[in-house]
Structure 1
Amino acid sequence: MDLFFVSRARVQERPELYSGVGEEAVWRLDFRALPDRLPVIVDGQMRPVEPACGWFRHLAYLGRDPEDTLRHYAYIVLRLIEFLAERGRELGTAAESDLVAYRRSRTELQDVPVGGTAWDREASVINTLLDWMVGQGLRRASPLRAVGSTNPLASGMSRDMDIRHLSLGQYVFFRDVGLGGQTLDGEVDPAFRGWAPNRGRAASDLALMTGMRPQEWSTVLFPELAVGLRRPGEVVQFDLQECAKYRKHRIVFVPQDALTSVDRFLLIERPEMAEGLVRALERRHRELLVVSEIDYARGRLRGRWEGRDREFAWSAIPPRLRRVTVHEGPAGLEPLAVFIGHGSLMLTSSSWDRVRYQAWDRLTAVRDEERAPQLPLKRYRFHDLRHTFALRLLDFLMRRAAERERAVVRAGTATLAEHMAFNPLLIVSRRLGHASPATTYEYLRYLEDPMAYVDAVFAQWAASDGDSYADIALRAMNVEEAGHAAPR
């Protein structure tokens, strides 16, 4: 079996290969409202494999992102279908034992078994597919027998949120040395080449100071940051929705320091990147959203896309459309996205992963130097900057709320509305766009280091006459190794 992805541009770029068949194919894709990058699994005779393709189409109609969500789902379903085929089964005939065997092959038997977190995400996709099949009458019931709220595909692991945050020293180290190409002395590293240091610094500052998720800050457009319109020292805010998780609407505030960092990238590095894209964009003109007018007052833009004049609210433009949104610049067509690369309209998540992998390699190369801050065992993620934003904001608001509470107690007046309006957890929850304030409560455990309390409590327990028990044990072990062990 093979996995393909819908691409109108591929057909339109090579009319000599498809002739009238290509035009018919594009018409049918439009007629069925099938988006580009929709996954299609085919068998040896190039026939769509059902019900997988029907499920992908259903998810596309629900608005799931073909570039990220459906692509991820497609590889999971393809692996499962191929595993079942080896056992003479299909999705419609798979038994519980087949699915449990598949779980075991992924988590125990393959050369590099997947961990519990990765498997639970995969199991969730499989369960969703099976439930859809039942709802469509393609199966009488799911083959998995549920026990309580779980079924045999669950890993059984119980996990809290993986909240990882950076200290100020760690962040500056990550931004300036890892992403910015500096040495520990603050000088430019002559060995640093081709990684766009100002782009990495701007992206990290924007992520840290706004708390946006990677998909949110990496897809930001010029108009949203009022590029070329705002005056020095101004801050901006814009609506976020289509690029947000679960499309949950919220307002993003971008402080002056983050805008200054972005402006530096736009002035120094981005023009050269955009110049190298002009010819490629001219060739792809038909598949691009070419913006002709930007209405800052209403937060909307107008342009031509797929042969039609269209109008969009900025917040309603999904990531896949933002990647092909361009406008007419001084040298020709230019991407409207802020963060672009050499030969790329907008950096994808995998491209940003390569940036942070390279940054981590630079950090670990100097981690043993005295001036380098302590690094965690796990590689930094851009999402760690969102956690850092949340914890620093929560810590500040908690301290401010405590001061206000003392003032209210002295004055003897307070209302329920005031308590809710100034509640630190509710404020942070809104800024992060959490679906439930309960998620924000997870951050409370990270405001202070509990190990500091443990060290303080047992400081006197573990020492005797200036020597800890570990020191005494170490000397005893050295004596034994020298052959002078005391009789027992």
Structure 2
Amino acid sequence: MRFIGLDQFALFRDVGLRGCLPDGSEDPSWRGRHGERNALFAELLLTTGMRLAEAAHLLFCELPSSEACHDTDQRLFPFRLPAAVAKGDKARTIRLPVRLLRRLHDYAALERANAIERFAERSAVNAKTDALSAVEADRNMIVIVGDDGQRKRIRLDLVTPHDRRRLCNADDMNVAPAMLWLTETGAVMTPWGWAAVFRRASKRCRSFGIDIDVTPHMLRHSFAVHMLSMLIRAQLGMVMQDRSGGAAGDAAYRRMIGDPLQKLQRLMGHASITSTHIYLSSLDESRALVDAAINDWADALGDEETAA
């Protein structure tokens, strides 16, 4: 299992995906056109732990509205990942940073909108016969018009990745792809297309002497390792507030180890907690955390004995 630190990710994002020089300045020779889109996709993987296929098959209509993103004081927004794109067909709720949601809407309003305009100009693509035409859509349902002209309401939870790539929003004037992530010409960005983006970005980093080889799945592992570390730190603080000892102390210890793993299991969408256990061995500070916890417990018990 491989993962990267946040400093390495910043280099990969800025140098590999955005086309900057290692010192952060612009590279005059950079010819890439989708640096911000690609960087945004990578940050989505890193901050949510979504699998490549899950993030790649999101529909634009599934995003919380831009109004909801701006009319909130929350830093995180709950987002229900549809069962049809999640591994094992098990929907789960992830926490999207509001700042990232705002940037997703900025991308949709500019780069994605331009791609849809180019898509509309390509009559040959618009005429493809395998498209699924949706005349209505929201975060939960779509209305599809069949070949017989009949309308059918379908839950987005049931729309498979294959059908999502075929899905188009249709009105009297235009047909536009429903997927969130599009190429410059309005075609759908597929998981294998994203994998190629990451390979090129890693190759560019190595050309500057940055020894890095990042894959989309590595960012999922990175999310898990960093999140588990932070959850354990937070749990240690909560446990140390409970100094009652005895049965309550045993329960606190179980919370210290069990709660962070269970929280991470839900965030990652693991069917079994054993799949989540692998991230414990990746914490450089795991032994130090355990030692610190034992020392703190000993100090706490010592304080109570002195008080008695």
TM-score for the superposition, normalised by structure 1: 0.52
Work out which of the residue numbers 178, 182, 185 in structure 2 matches 1:336.
178
**Which residue does the alignment assign to 1:309?**
151
- Count of aligned residue pairs for this structure pair: 278
Shift of 1:196: 0.8
Structure 1: gaps spanning 5 or more residues: 1-162, 453-488
**Which residue does the alignment assign to 1:28?**
none
1:274-295 C-alpha deviation (Å, 9 max, x unpaired): 11111344312x4222222224
Shift of 1:443: 0.4
Report the more deviating stretch, 392-401 or 193-202: 193-202
Is the 1:275–1:331 contact (alpha carbons within 8 Å) kept by the matching residues of 2?
no
Change (3 A) 1:437 1:179: same
Is the 1:198–1:264 contact (alpha carbons within 8 Å) kept by the matching residues of 2?
no
1: CA distance, partners of 2:172 / 2:67: 17
Change (3 A) 1:268 1:293: closer
Work out which of the residue numbers 8, 12, 17 in structure 2 matches 1:179.
17
Q: SS of 1:186's equivalent?
A: coil
2: CA distance, partners of 1:199 / 1:330: 29
2: CA distance, partners of 1:418 / 1:312: 46
Cα RMSD of the aligned pairs, angstroms, is 2.7
Change (3 A) 1:403 1:249: same
2: CA distance, partners of 1:417 / 1:346: 48
Larger radius of gyration: 1
Change (3 A) 1:436 1:206: same
Change (3 A) 1:360 1:239: closer
Shift of 1:258: 2.1
**Which residue does the alignment assign to 1:388?**
222
Is the 2:235–2:255 contact (alpha carbons within 8 Å) kept by the matching residues of 1?
no
Is the 1:241–1:247 contact (alpha carbons within 8 Å) kept by the matching residues of 2?
yes
**Which residue does the alignment assign to 1:129?**
none
Higher helix proportion (structure 1 or 2): 2
Q: Does 1:241 align with 2:68?
A: no
- Residue identity (%): 26
Amino acid in structure 2 at the alignment position of 1:425 = L
Shift of 1:416: 5.4
Work out which of the residue numbers 130, 134, 137 in structure 2 matches 1:294.
137
Work out which of the residue numbers 127, 150, 162 in structure 2 matches 1:283.
127
1:441-471 C-alpha deviation (Å, 9 max, x unpaired): 0100111079x9xxxxxxxxxxxxxxxxxxx
1: CA distance, partners of 2:87 / 2:67: 29
Change (3 A) 1:276 1:418: farther
Shift of 1:176: 1.3
Structure 2: gaps spanning 5 or more residues: 289-308
Q: How do 1:46-85 residues align onto structure 2 when only pairs under 5 Å count?
A: none
Work out which of the residue numbers 296, 320, 325 in structure 1 matches 2:167.
325
Report the more deviating stretch, 250-259 or 396-405: 250-259
1: CA distance, partners of 2:277 / 2:44: 24
Q: Does 1:426 align with 2:268?
A: no
Change (3 A) 1:306 1:209: farther
Work out which of the residue numbers 399, 402, 419 in structure 1 matches 2:236.
402
Change (3 A) 1:187 1:236: farther
**Which residue does the alignment assign to 1:267?**
109
Shift of 1:174: 0.9
Q: SS of 1:342's equivalent?
A: coil
